[in-house]
Amino acid sequence: MDGNIEEAKSKSILVTGGAGYIGSHTTLQLLLGGYRVAVIDNLDNSCEEAIQRVAQLAGKYGGNLTFHQADLRDKEALEKVFSVEKFDAVIHFAGLKAVGESVAKPLLYYNNNIVGTLNLLEVMIAHDCKKLVFSSSATVYGQPKEVPCTEDFPLCAVNPYGRTKLFIEEICCDAQRADPEWKIMLLRYFNPVGAHPSGIIGEDPRGIPNNLMPFVQQVAVGRRPELTVFGTDYKTKDGTGVRDYIHVMDLSDGHIAALSKLFETNDIGCEVYNLGSGRGTSVLEMVAAFEKASGKKIPLKFVDRRPGDSETVYASTEKAEKELNWKAQYGIEKMCRDQWNWSEKNPWGYRSPETTD
């Protein structure tokens, strides 16, 4: 570990979207691993408090973190960030991610996610920084015909959000084909949940949560009366949808593994890895685990399937295990314990009832 820290000390990483849920946890792990980190975020779906808490949790490494409030679509602002510091690699989390909103506002999604990424890639080239880790998603498997999903499955997108991920994957691969100096890791996340075990940082979505666990969390702390369960007639163990939940700390460590591989290996082109646990869990199993962890009853309302939802999605983790030497450690009990710890300590996330929408 000390050897790794020594090596990381000389490296500087730009993290886009580092104030957000996955970005804040990964930024912390990078700092603790000895990297210097600059975060760029427009705070569209996050707040600066998250950055301050990351610095606090990082202790003696907290001084290695800098924050730039800027939008990736503002190329001049990006240029400015790159002109004050030389980066060895970029981890690119910044993007909009709400599926329903992407259907209602597709141009906003294409503009934010794709134009933002194009600007980033262009500025990276201009500053000769050609190592990138990109946040893709299991959404690129669409509704998979079989599971577990392996990285070579056919890809498709079923909504504008998914299309931005698919397009960006292809843009990255094209850029790398045209210029083999690029080294790119496309990481397809499954369902990140949980929080840092301290309960000091966690997920704090704006508005009504789209995803299962943030919703469950808000029911548990009394912000919402009940959880709506979408679909009870899937051909699964209990009729509810099955997903691959992965602890956000495991996911963060997956990024460190991908980054190490980028630095250590010469013949990386544009590589894709699933980051999941490899296990399928139903909605009702997840709710039961959260009830056990929190001691709170989650009232349920059963309704029809949510349009566009898949029945069962989980990852094949073989490639990441073999090539990144990374494997998720935590099960759903720990995910729920840490999620509850965060929500009990921060029922309104980073904000207060007055400032929460």
Positions marked catalytic: 161
Do 205 and 46 touch, CB atoms closer than 8 A?
no
Q: Which does 93 bind (CB under 5 to 8 A by kind): ligand UFG, ligand NAD, none?
A: ligand NAD
Figure out which of the listed residues 53, 68, 73, 243 binds ligand NAD, where binding follows CB under 6 A: 73
Site for ligand UFG, rule CB under 6 A: 99, 137-139, 161, 189-191, 210-212, 215, 227-231, 241, 243, 283, 306, 309
> Which of 14-22, 77-85, 259-267, 287-295 is the region at the interface with ligand NAD (rule: CB under 6 A)?
14-22
Does position 27 interact with ligand NAD (CB under 6 A)? The reply is: no
Q: Which residues contact 319 (CB under 8 A, 6 or more apart)?
A: 150, 151, 273, 274
Does position 189 interact with ligand NAD (CB under 6 A)? The reply is: yes
> In degrees rounded to 5, what are phi and psi of residue 355?
-105, 0
**Beta carbon nearer to ligand UFG, 243 or 337:** 243
Q: Which does 229 bind (CB under 5 to 8 A by kind): ligand NAD, ligand UFG, none?
A: ligand UFG
- The CB-of-305 to ligand UFG minimum distance in angstroms stands at 7
Residue by residue, what is the 3-state secondary structure of the chain?
Answer: CHHHHHHHHCCEEEEECCCCHHHHHHHHHHHHCCCEEEEEECCCCCCHHHHHHHHHHCHHHHHHEEEEECCCCCHHHHHHHHHHCCCCEEEECCCCCCHHHHHHCHHHHHHHHHHHHHHHHHHHHHCCCCEEEEEEEHHHHCCCCCCCECCCCCCCCCCHHHHHHHHHHHHHHHHHHHCCCCEEEEEEECEEECCCCCCCCCCCCCCCCCCHHHHHHHHHCCCCCCEEEECCCCCCCCCCCEECEEEHHHHHHHHHHHHHHHHHCCCCCEEEEEECCCCCEEHHHHHHHHHHHHCCCCCEEEECCCCCCCCECCECCHHHHHHHCCCCCCCHHHHHHHHHHHHHHCCCCCCCCCCCC
For residue 118, CA distances in Å to 81, 111, 168 come to 16, 10, 9
- The CB-of-282 to ligand UFG minimum distance in angstroms stands at 8
- The CB-of-216 to ligand UFG minimum distance in angstroms stands at 8
Does position 21 interact with ligand NAD (CB under 6 A)? The reply is: yes
Does position 291 interact with ligand NAD (CB under 6 A)? The reply is: no
Figure out which of the listed residues 14, 22, 31, 123 binds ligand NAD, where binding follows CB under 6 A: 22
**Beta carbon nearer to ligand UFG, 61 or 141:** 141
Select from 119, 109, 134, 107 the least CA-distant residue to 70: 119
> Which of 7-15, 19-27, 220-228, 291-299 is the region at the interface with ligand NAD (rule: CB under 6 A)?
19-27
Q: Which does 20 bind (CB under 5 to 8 A by kind): ligand UFG, ligand NAD, none?
A: ligand NAD
Does position 169 interact with ligand NAD (CB under 6 A)? The reply is: no
Figure out which of the listed residues 41, 244, 250, 271 binds ligand NAD, where binding follows CB under 6 A: 41
**Beta carbon nearer to ligand NAD, 8 or 14:** 14
Q: Which residue is nearest to ligand NAD (CB)?
A: 20
Give the span between the Cα atoms of 99 and 308, in whole angstroms: 10
**Beta carbon nearer to ligand UFG, 21 or 87:** 21
- The CB-of-197 to ligand NAD minimum distance in angstroms stands at 18
Does position 273 interact with ligand NAD (CB under 6 A)? The reply is: no
Q: Which does 21 bind (CB under 5 to 8 A by kind): ligand NAD, ligand UFG, none?
A: ligand NAD
Does position 45 interact with ligand NAD (CB under 6 A)? The reply is: yes
Token output for 261:
């591989």
Residues forming the site for ligand NAD (CB under 6 A):
17, 19-23, 41-46, 71-73, 93-97, 112, 116, 135, 137, 189, 191-192, 211
